[in-house]
Amino acid sequence: MKIPLISQFFAKKAGAEKKEQNTQLEKNTSQMTQGQILRMVWEYAVSYRLWIILLLILSLVIVVGTLYVPILVGKVIDCIEPYNVRTGLIKRYFIWIGVVVGVTALLQWILNVLCNKVSYRIVRDIRKDAFEKIQSLPLSWLDKHPTGDLVSRIMTDTDQFADGLLMGFTQLFTGVATILGTLFIMLRLSVLITLVVVVVTPLSLFVASYIAKRTFDLFRVQSEIRGQQTALIDEVLTGEKVVKAFGQEEKMGERFNEINKQLSTASVKALFFSSLTNPCTRFVNAIVYAVVALAGGFYVLASKMSVGLLAVFLSYSTQYTKPFNEISGVVTELQNAIACAGRIFEIIHAKPQEPDVQDALKLTDAKGSVICENLTFSYDPEKKLITDFNVSVQPGQNIAIVGPTGCGKTTLINLLMRFYDPISGSISVDGTDIQNVTRESLRSSYGMVLQETWLRAGTIRDNIKMGKPDATDEEMIAAAKASYADSFIRRLPFGYDTVIGEDGGMLSAGQKQLLCISRVMLALPPMLILDEATSSIDTRTEMKIQAAFISMMEDRTTFIVAHRLSTIRRADLILVMKDGDIIEQGTHESLMAQDGFYASLQKAI
C-alpha cells in the first residue's frame, strides 16, 4: 500500500533530480518467521541470563507458596467435624496462611520489579541498536523508508514489544510453574481424577494455538498500517505550509481518514480474534472444574476422599486451568509483540553501508583536483540518469553546473560526497579514487550549502560550530559577520545562546540559510559545494555575501549549482548538463558564442 507523498500533489522543487521514492513498506517482516524473531529476542535476553534465572527461582518460590495455601485451607476444613471443632489448630493454620500469603505477595512484588527491569533493559538495547544501525545504513535504504515509519518502529513498536515482553516474563514463568506444580500434587492426591483433568485440558491449548496462529498476521498488518499512518502524519506536519498554500487540507484529510479506517479495520479484526482466546479457554476450564467436582463427589460419598481434600483438589484444578487462560492471553500479546519486534529487527538486520576498504586513505589537505571518468549511475536500474560522464577539474577552479530540472546536477553532488556510489566508472580526488578514501575524511574536505537548510535542535552556537566544534567564539563570530548573520543573531533573545527547534524553528528561510553559510565559512574546507546557496536571501544581503563568497572560494575548488546569471558568469568552467550528460562546457562567453543549449537557457532567464 502506497502513501502518496506531498510531492505527488505538487510540482517538484527545482534541483530535485532524484525520482520520487516509492513509499510502499517492504514486507520483509512477513518473510521472517516467529521462530527467527524469538531467536533474535533471545540474543538480547541472554545478556541478562542471571536476572532471568533469578526470575525463574522467584517464580518457583511464588508458585510453591501459592500451592501450599490450598493444602492449609483443606486442613482447616478437615478440622471442622460434627461436634468437634479444633479451634486451636484452626488458628495455627490461619497464622500459617497469613505468613505464606504475605511472603508470596512480597516476592510477587519483587518479581514484578525485576521483570520491569529486564524487559525495559532488553527494549533499551534493541532501541539503541536500531538507532545506531540507522546511522550506518546507506541513504538508498533510508530514502525508501518514510521517516515517520522509522520513528513508529523505534518508538511505538518497541513500546508494544516491551508490553508483550513484560507480560511474558510476569505471567509465562509463573503460569508454567503453576501447571507443573499443581499437576505433581494432584497426581499424589488422586491419579484417576488427575488423568481426567489432563485429558480435557489440552482442548484449551488447541483453542489458544488455533487462534494465536491467525492473530499474528493480523497484528503484523496492524503494525504496518500504524507505521504508514505515522509516516503520513510526519510528512504533512513537516510540509504543513505547503499543504495550506495549495489548499490540500481536505485531500490530506481524506488520505488520513482512509489509512485510519484501514487501521481501525485491522485493529478490530486483530482484537476480535485475540479476544476469543480467553472465553474459549474459560469454557474448557469450566468443564474441567465440573468433571472434577462430580468425580470428587463420588469419591467423598464412597469415603475415599475427605471433604477438605475435595476442596483442595477443586482449588488445584482451578489453579491448574487458570494459567492456561493467562498463557493464552500472554500468547495473544506475544503475537503483537513478535510482529512489532519483526519490524524493529528489519532495521537492525538491514544491510549496512559498505564499510571503507581496508587500509583506506585519509584525505588531508586536499588540493581540489577532481576527475570523473566514465561515470554511470541511476537510482532506478530501468531509468538511466548519468551515463559515461567525464570531467576534469583543476585545483582552485570554480565549476558551475547548469541544466534543466532532472538533468543530474544534485545527483552529481551526491556522487561527489559519496552519499551514493556509482554503478560504474570512478571519481578521484587528488589522483586517489574516492572508493579508497575514508568517507569521513572525504566529506570533511567538502563544505556544503544547499537550498535545504541543515539545522538541528540546539543553540545557534551549536549549529554554527557543527563543522568545527573546537572553534573559538571569536572565530565563530567572525564567520557569522562574514556571512552577515551576526546582526540578526544579536537581535535574538539570547544571541548565540538562543535555542532553536529542529530545522531552525521560527527562523525565516533566509536566516536559516545564513546560519548554514556561517557554518561553512567557519570550517573553511578545501572544497566547496554551493547548491543555490543564496536562494532564500534577499538581493541586498546576497550582494554583500557574494563578496565574502569570492574571498572564500579563492584557491578552493568549488562546485556551484546555480540558476542566477551573476553567479554563473564568474565560474572558470560551466558544465551544461542534460539527461545526465555534459552536452556543453566552457566559460560563459564561449558558451554564449556557441549559441547552443546554454545560450537558450540564458535567454530564457
DSSP secondary structure string for all residues of 471-506? --HHHHHHHHHHTT-HHHHHTSTTGGG-EE-GGGTT
Tell me how far apart the alpha carbons of residues 260 and 269 are, in angstroms, rounded to a whole number. 14
pLDDT tens-digit map of 187-233: 877 787 778 777 777 676 677 667 766 776 787 788 788 888 888 88
> Letter for the amino acid at 603?
K
What is the rounded average pLDDT for all residues in the chain? 80
Tell me how far apart the alpha carbons of residues 218 and 268 are, in angstroms, rounded to a whole number. 10
Q: What confidence tier does 19 reach under pLDDT thresholds 50, 70, 90?
A: very low
- The answer to whether the beta carbons of residues 204 and 281 sit under 8 Å apart is yes
138-158 mean pLDDT: 83
| Most confident segment among 148-162, 461-475, 579-593 | 461-475
Q: What is the pLDDT of residue 497?
A: 92
pLDDT tens-digit map of 396-437: 888 888 888 777 788 888 899 888 888 889 999 998 999 999
Determine which of 218-222, 541-545, 567-571 has the lowest per-residue pLDDT on average. 541-545
12-25 mean pLDDT: 36
Does the fold of domain 370-604 match that of domain 33-348?
no
pLDDT tens-digit map of 351-383: 888 888 888 888 888 888 999 998 888 888 778
Q: What is the pLDDT of residue 172?
A: 74
| Residue 171 DSSP label | I
| 591 has a pLDDT exceeding 90 | no
Of 403, 408, 410, 415, nearest to 371 by C-alpha is: 415
CB within 8 Å of 419: residues ≥ 6 apart? 139
Q: What is the pLDDT of residue 535?
A: 67
Q: Domain 33-348: which CATH class?
A: mainly alpha
Q: What confidence tier does 17 reach under pLDDT thresholds 50, 70, 90?
A: very low
pLDDT tens-digit map of 227-272: 888 888 878 877 777 888 788 888 888 888 999 898 888 888 888 8
Q: What is the pLDDT of residue 602?
A: 76
Which grid coordinates belong to 365?
589537505
- The answer to whether the beta carbons of residues 437 and 360 sit under 8 Å apart is yes
Q: What confidence tier does 566 reach under pLDDT thresholds 50, 70, 90?
A: low
How many other C-beta atoms can be found within 10 angstroms of the C-beta atom of residue 325?
A: 21
Burial of 570 (0-12, 13-18, 19+ CB in 10 A): middle
Give the domain ranges of the chain: 33-348, 370-604
Q: What confidence tier does 9 reach under pLDDT thresholds 50, 70, 90?
A: very low
Tell me how far apart the alpha carbons of residues 326 and 265 are, in angstroms, rounded to a whole number. 26
| Residue 574 DSSP label | E
34-62 mean pLDDT: 85
Of 74, 77, 69, nearest to 95 by C-alpha is: 69
pLDDT tens-digit map of 126-142: 889 989 888 888 888 88
| Most confident segment among 10-24, 116-130, 211-225 | 116-130
End-to-end CA distance of the chain: 41
Residue with cell string 507443573? 180
Report percent pLDDT > 70 for the chain.
Answer: 89
- The answer to whether the beta carbons of residues 571 and 528 sit under 8 Å apart is no
| 14 has a pLDDT exceeding 60 | no
Q: What is the pLDDT of residue 565?
A: 62
In CATH terms, the fold of domain 370-604 is: Rossmann fold (3.40.50)
Which grid coordinates belong to 569?
558568469
